[in-house]
Amino acid sequence: MKKVSTVAAKVPKNFSQAKLTIGLDLGDRSSWYCVLDDSGSVLLEQRLSTTAKAMREVFGSMPRSRIALETGMHSPWISRLLTELGHETIVAHARNVRLIGESRKKDDRLDARTLARLARIDRQLLSPVKHRSAQAQADLTVIRARAGLVRARTALINTARGVTKSYGERLRGCNARNVNPEKAKGLSPELQAALEPLLAAVESLSEQIREYNQRIEQLAQQSYPQVALLKQVKGVGTLIALTYLLTLEDPHRFRKSRDVGCYLGLQPGRRNSGQSEPQLHISKEGDPYLRTLLVQGAHHILGPFGADSDLRRWGLKLAERGGKNGKKRAVIATARKLAVLLHRLWVSGEAYEPLRNSHPITMPAAA
């Protein structure tokens, strides 16, 4: 295997006069970059380490250039670093650049060259995206870490339930928030001995999740006062509101509130051709975790404990006439409406009126 050098390549003299376009194909340990001049000729193709030091050595010595890279694990911090160095940075949407993703000749060097050529022709061919700021990413990491603990706790609880059922017994009263070794007391001695460490681990995870909940509440109160605007909607708590704010970050990036539903992948796909207009599933683009939280909020709004509101009435009416899968479609549609409503409240700062568009329900007079 070739050794990857972190030493910057010697920059040709004509770099200072040329208008450069650079394609950067990112890898976990090493990356490839390709430099094109204003006529489209390849000036340099080189491998470098995927480290901040190597990036600064290579791109810090170049004149202001247009640099294209794909979305990925390292793209947030690298795009910020390149922008700090004065370059025009384009972060391409990896799923939309099919010329690279579906190529039969997939190679890091060729991918970097393709990125450079697309960026040179028209940046819109790359479906550019905007990464969030470093502070927003750091705050969102707290929420992501909590989500990881929740997934781990759910997996452990499912394991405990499955083991007891396969033994002909059941783990009673197994609420995720209060699982502890005491729950195994009604089981046989063999199962108690086997499940005690597992249930203790679940109890420990629950305690850590509660600590994360407190951190998230403090973060919202200290740094994000807009959370209070979004929490006016019953069914939206601090977790949903803060995740929404940090994921979108800038409300003015959308021309209208309805665009948020499409951005989060809650809009049905389209494949219209001629007279054919098939009904497709939602696109599921955008952030999957925020989409999951909005769906959970929609379940609460339409559920038995949801407060009366225009949104709830609209969703229940849609579920009634939706046929076999009416409830599922109503939940997704309500989640999309919820995303639009939260953006509207965020931008306008107005007070939320749950029954603005509906007439109040009046009970018939007694006979």
SS3 track for the chain: CCCCCCCCCCCCHHHCCCCCEEEEECCCCEEEEEEECCCCCEEEEEEEECCHHHHHHHHCCCCCCEEEEECCCCHHHHHHHHHHCCCEEEEECCCCCHHHHCCCCCCHHHHHHHHHHHHHHCHHHHCEECCCCHHHHHHHHHHHHHHHHHHHHHHHHHHHHHHHHHCCCCCCCCCCCCCCHHHHCCCCHHHHHHHHHHHHHHHHHHHHHHHHHHHHHHHHHHHCCCHHHHCCCCCCCHHHHHHHHHHHCCHHHCCCCCHHHHHCCCCECCCCECCECCCCCECCCCCHHHHHHHHHHHHHHHCCCCCCCHHHHHHHHHHHCCHHHHHHHHHHHHHHHHHHHHHHHHHHCCCCCCCCCCCCCCCCCCC
Least confident of 76-80, 117-121, 178-182, 226-230: 178-182
Looking at the predicted structure, is the pLDDT value of residue 352 above 70? yes
Instruction: Give the model's confidence band at 268: pLDDT under 50 very low, under 70 low, under 90 confident, else very high.
Output: confident
**Cβ neighbours around 260 below 10 Å, total:** 26
Residue 128 has pLDDT above 60, yes or no: yes
pLDDT tier, 130 (very low <50, low <70, confident <90, very high otherwise) = confident
- Summarised one tens digit per residue, pLDDT across range 28-51 is 999 999 999 988 899 999 999 999
Choice between 145 and 266, residue whose per-residue pLDDT is larger:
145
- The span from the CA of 63 to the CA of 86, in Å, is 8
Contact 266, 335 (CB under 8 A): yes
pLDDT tens readout for residues 237-254: 999 999 999 999 999 989
17 compared with 297, residue with greater pLDDT: 297
Q: How far apart are CA 81 and CA 133, in angstroms?
A: 12
Q: Give the pLDDT mean for 13-34.
A: 83
What's the pLDDT score for residue 103? 61
Q: Quick check: 307 pLDDT over 60?
A: yes
Reported as a pLDDT band with limits 50, 70 and 90, residue 265 is confident
> Is the pLDDT at 4 greater than 50, yes or no?
no
Q: Which position has the higher pLDDT, 10 or 117?
A: 117
Q: Please indicate whether residue 318 or residue 9 has the higher confidence score (pLDDT).
A: 318
Task: Name the percent of the chain lying above pLDDT 70.
Answer: 86
Q: Who has greater pLDDT, 150 or 175?
A: 150
pLDDT in tens, 157-206: 999 989 899 988 888 766 787 788 887 888 888 888 899 999 999 999 99
Burial of 201 (C-beta count, 10 Å sphere; 0-12/13-18/19+): middle
Max Cα–Cα distance, the chain, nearest Å: 96
Residue 88 or 18, more confident: 88
* pLDDT score for 174: 64
- pLDDT value at position 364? 42
Query: What is the rounded distance in angstroms from the CA atom of residue 55 to the CA atom of residue 196?
Result: 50
**Out of 64-73, 106-115, 339-348, which region has the weakest mean confidence (pLDDT)?**
106-115
Residue 20: per-residue pLDDT: 92
Output the CA–CA distances (angstroms, integers) from residue 119 to 25, 53, 83, 306, in the order listed. Answer: 13, 25, 16, 49
Instruction: Please compute the mean of the pLDDT values over residues 213-224 and round it to a whole number.
Output: 96
pLDDT at 65: 93
Judging by DSSP bridges, how do beta strands 30-36 and 42-49 pair with one another?
A: antiparallel
**Alpha-carbon distances, residue 347 vs 129, 251, 335, 339 (angstroms):** 21, 6, 19, 13
CA atoms in the 13 A half-sphere facing the CB of 353: 7
**Which amino acid is located at 290 in the chain?**
L
* pLDDT average, residue stretch 126-145: 91
Mean pLDDT, to the nearest integer, of 253-261?
A: 90
pLDDT over 70 (residue 361): no
> Which is it for strands 42-49 and 66-70: parallel, antiparallel or unpaired?
unpaired
Mean pLDDT along residues 61-80: 93
Q: Which residue has the higher pLDDT, 18 or 140?
A: 140
As a whole number of angstroms, the distance between CA 235 and CA 297 comes to 5
Q: Is the model's pLDDT at 9 over the cut of 60?
A: no
The pLDDT confidence band at residue 14, using thresholds 50, 70 and 90, is low
Structure tokens at 15: 């770099």
